[in-house]
A and B are shown apart, each in its own frame.
Chain A
Amino acid sequence: MNKTLSSIIKKEFRHILRDKQTLIIIFLMPVMMLILFGYAINLEMQNIKTAIVDNSKTPQSRDFIEKIISVNFFRIVSVDPDYNNLESLFQMRQANCIVVIPYDFARKLDHQPQTKVQLLIDASDPNAANYINNYLNMVANLYNLDHNDFVIQPLSVEPRLLYNPDMKSAYFFVPGLIAVIILLICALLTSIAIVREKENGTLEQILVSPVKPIHIIIGKVLPYMMIGFLMGLMILVIGHFWFGVPVAGSVVLLNLMMILYVVTGLSFGLLISTITKSQQIAMMATLVVTILPTIMLSGFIFPIASMPLPLQFVSRLIPATHFLEIIRSIMLKGVGISELYKQAGALALISLVLLGVSMKKFSTHLE
C-alpha cells in the first residue's frame, strides 16, 4: 500500500483507540438508542381506557359488555359515570372512549331490525380513534353472530399476513432504527474528523506536505468504516436476539449492504467536515441533516407513498430510504440481491457523489 496512505490510516486508528471516552460513546450510544426507541415506539394498541354507560341494565346489555371486556383491547375504567358530565372524562384524560348503551337496548334488539349503541371517542389521536372504532365494530359483529345464526354474509375477506404474521411493531421499527442509528453515528464520526484537525492546526501541517486530498479522505474513511461496521453489527445482533427480529435472507448480503451504507454515512459526515469550521458546528449540522430527514422522509415511520410528490422525490435522495428498503426486505422477506440492486446502486451513487464533492471541497489550499 501507498506509504503516505498507510501512515494516515495508522494514525487515525491511534486517534480512535486512544480516545477511550469517544470509543465508549460510539458503542454505548447505539445500544441505548436502540433499546429506548425499540420499547418506546410501539404502534400496537392495548389497554384502551373505556367507560361504559349501561342505561339498559338487562341481560342483553350485560352480555354485550362481556363481549367488550373479552377483547384485550379495551380496559374498563369506569362504569356508569355521570351521564351529564361525560366530556369531563375525556378532559381529565380518564377515558379514551365511552360506550353508551340506550335504555331501550333490549327491547329494540327483540323488536326492531336495527339497534344503535353510541360510541364516543376522543379523536385527538386520530390513529387511536380509528382503531377504537374498528375494534368496537368487531365486537358488535361478534355479538351479532352469537345472537343471530341466520346472518347471511355473501362476501367475506380472509386475510393472511405475510412476513410479520403477528404484526409486531418491532419487526417494522428495529430495522428502521438500525438504519437511523448507523447513519447518525457514522456521519458524526467523520464530521469531526477533519474539522478537529482544522481547529488544532494539524491540518495545516499536513497541507504543506505533498499529501494528496484523496489520501487524506481515504485515510480517514477506512478506519472509521471498520468502527462503523462493528457498531452496525452489534446493533444488528441486538435487534435479532433481543427484539427477535428474524433475518430471513442472507446474513452475508445483509452485512455487505451494511458496509455500503456505513460508507454512505461516513461520506455524509466527511462532506460536512470539509465545509464547516468548528467541531460544534459540524456536529450540529450532522444532527440536523441526518436525524430529521431520516426519521421524517425515509419511510422509517411514515409511508413514502402517502407523501406529496415533491417529498417523495426528496426521499429518494435520502440514503436511509434505500437502506430501509434493503434491510426490511432482507430481514423480513428474505429477498436477494437481484431484487435489491437498484437500492444498492442508489446508495453507491450517493456515496460517490458525496465523496467526490468532499474531495473537491477539500482543496489543498486552506482558503
Chain B
Amino acid sequence: MRSNGYAVEVENLTRIFGDFKAVNDISFQVEKGEIFGFLGANGAGKTTTIRMLCGLLLPSSGQATVAGFDIYKEYEKIKQHIGYMSQKFSLYEDLTVRENIEFYGGVYGLSRKEISDRTKELLDYLNLNQQADHLTKSLPVGWKQRLALSTALLHNPPIIFLDEPTSGVDPVSRRNFWLLIYELVEQGKTVFVTTHFMDEAEYCHRLSIMKDGRIEAMGKPRELKIKYSADNLNDVFLKAVQGGAANE
C-alpha cells in the first residue's frame, strides 16, 4: 500500500448513466481500520459508488484510489486487496458449502494446502461443519450471509466492501453479522459498508449520508447528532435528506 495511508480516497468522483447523475462529484477519505458507513435511500448512489471502487464500473470523471491503487489503471491490483459482498447472495446455490469455499479459494489462486486449511478454519469458525456438504441453497439466509462474507475474505484482503449485506436478514442474524465485522476491524481491516438500517449506522465509526448522488453529511455518529441537534440517527438522516444540510 502506498503513501498517504488512507484505505480509500475519493476526489470529485462522478458517474453518469445517460443524462442521470447517479454519483455527483463526491469526495471523501476512509482511514485504515475504520468502519465507514454509507447511508442513503434506494437510488442515492451508494451501490454505484461501491461498484466504481471495486472495479466493476468505470467512473465518468473524478479520481479515486483503493489501497493506494488508482481505480482507472490499477484495478487488477485493487482486486487482490479487496473483498466484496453484494446485496444479492452471490454464492452458487447448487454447490455445497465446501465446494463454494474451494471454488473461490481457487479463483484467488490459493494453493491446495491453503484452501483445505482455510476451509477447515472457516467451517469451524462459522459452525458449519455439519452442513459442509449440503447444498448452499438449503442454508438459512443469515448463515448464507456469513458464509458469503467469509468466502469474500478467503484471500485475506485488507479492505472489505459490503453492499447492504444484511438486507432481508432477521435482527439476530444481523447482530451476529456485525459481530463478525467488528472482529475484522480488530484484525486491522477496513470495512466500507452501505446500509439503510439506522441501528447499523450506529455501529459505524464514521458515516456519510447520500442523497441523489451527493454526500449531504459526513462525520462520526455522535458529531452528526450534535450537528443536526437530533437524538438519534434516524432523525439525523431525515433532516439531512430533507435538505437540512443545504447551508453546509
Physical interaction between A and B: yes
B 22-71 contacts with A by CB, 8 A: 51, 54-58
Q: Which of B99-107, B165-173, B199-207 forms part of the interface with chain A?
A: B99-107
Q: Is B193 part of the binding interface, using a Cβ–Cβ cutoff of 8 Å?
A: no
Whole-angstrom distance from the CB of B23 to the nearest CB of chain A?
Answer: 13
Q: Is A367 part of the binding interface, using a Cβ–Cβ cutoff of 8 Å?
A: yes
- Say yes or no: A209 contacts B94, CB within 8 Å: no
Whole-angstrom distance from the CB of A241 to the nearest CB of chain B?
Answer: 36
- Say yes or no: A204 contacts B90, CB within 8 Å: yes
Q: Is A364 part of the binding interface, using a Cβ–Cβ cutoff of 8 Å?
A: yes
- Say yes or no: B86 contacts A204, CB within 8 Å: yes
Over the window 287-316 of chain A, the binary record of Cβ atoms lying under 8 Å from chain B Cβ atoms (1 yes, 0 no) is 000000000000000000000000000000
Q: Which residue of B lies closest to A18 (CB)?
A: B94
| Contact A210 to B80, CB < 8 A, known contacts A205-B86, A365-B58 | yes
Q: Is B89 part of the binding interface, using a Cβ–Cβ cutoff of 8 Å?
A: yes
A 188-218 contacts with B by CB, 8 A: 200-202, 204-211
Our pick among B56, B80, B95, B105 for the contact of A365 (Cβ within 8 Å) is B56
Over the window 2-26 of chain A, the binary record of Cβ atoms lying under 8 Å from chain B Cβ atoms (1 yes, 0 no) is 0110111011001100110000000
Alpha-carbon distance between A366 and B58 when the two chains are bound, in angstroms: 9
Chain B interface residue count, CB cutoff 8 Å, equals 33
Q: Is B223 part of the binding interface, using a Cβ–Cβ cutoff of 8 Å?
A: no
Residues of B within 8 A of A209 (CB): 79, 104, 107-108
Most chain B CB atoms below 10 A, which of A3, A10, A206, A364:
A3
Q: Which residue of A lies closest to B155 (CB)?
A: A209
Alpha-carbon distance between A206 and B54 when the two chains are bound, in angstroms: 12
A 176-196 contacts with B by CB, 8 A: none
Whole-angstrom distance from the CB of A204 to the nearest CB of chain B?
Answer: 5
- Say yes or no: B103 contacts A208, CB within 8 Å: no
| Contact A366 to B80, CB < 8 A, known contacts A4-B109, A10-B103 | no
Alpha-carbon distance between A366 and B84 when the two chains are bound, in angstroms: 14
**20 A-B pairs in the complex with CB atoms less than 8 angstroms apart:** A3-B106, A3-B109, A4-B109, A8-B103, A8-B106, A11-B103, A14-B99, A18-B95, A200-B90, A201-B88, A201-B89, A204-B90, A205-B152, A206-B107, A208-B82, A209-B108, A210-B109, A365-B57, A366-B57, A367-B58
| Interface residue ranges, B against A (CB under 8 Å) | 51, 54-58, 75-76, 79-80, 82, 84, 86, 88-95, 99, 102-111, 152
